[in-house]
């Protein structure tokens, strides 16, 4: 899984892009357009998204620390 945090060209809002591979080696991409805010707000939002993804993977037994 790779995590990229960048600013969109239009409206200059933060974008969180998560790329990961399935068991079959297929690439999937999740893109979250985050609302404009302070760096602290963006940091909290990114932490929340990562927490929810980890929780979902743990529930399915696919999380590996």
Query: Model confidence over 9-54: pLDDT tens digits?
Result: 776 777 888 888 878 889 998 888 888 778 788 888 888 888 888 8
Give the global pTM: 0.63
Residues 6+ apart with CB under 8 A from 1: 18, 19, 20, 21
pLDDT at site 2? 64
pLDDT at residue 58, rounded to an integer:
85
Rounded distance between C-alpha atoms, residue 51 and residue 41, angstroms: 15
Q: In what order do the strands lie in the sheet with 27-33?
A: 2-7, 14-21, 27-33
Query: 16 lies in which domain range?
Result: 2-60
| CA–CA dist 16, 23 (Å, integer) | 23
Count the domains in the chain. 1
Q: Is residue 29 part of a domain?
A: yes
65 domain residue, yes or no: no
């Amino acid at each position: 899984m790779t995590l990229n945090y960048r600013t969109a060209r239009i409206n200059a809002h933060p974008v969180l892009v998560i790329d990961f591979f399935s068991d079959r080696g297929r690439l999937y991409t999740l893109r979250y357009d985050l609302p404009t805010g302070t760096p602290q707000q963006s940091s909290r939002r990114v932490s929340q998204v990562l927490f929810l993804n980890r929780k979902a993977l743990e529930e399915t037994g696919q999380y590996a620390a």
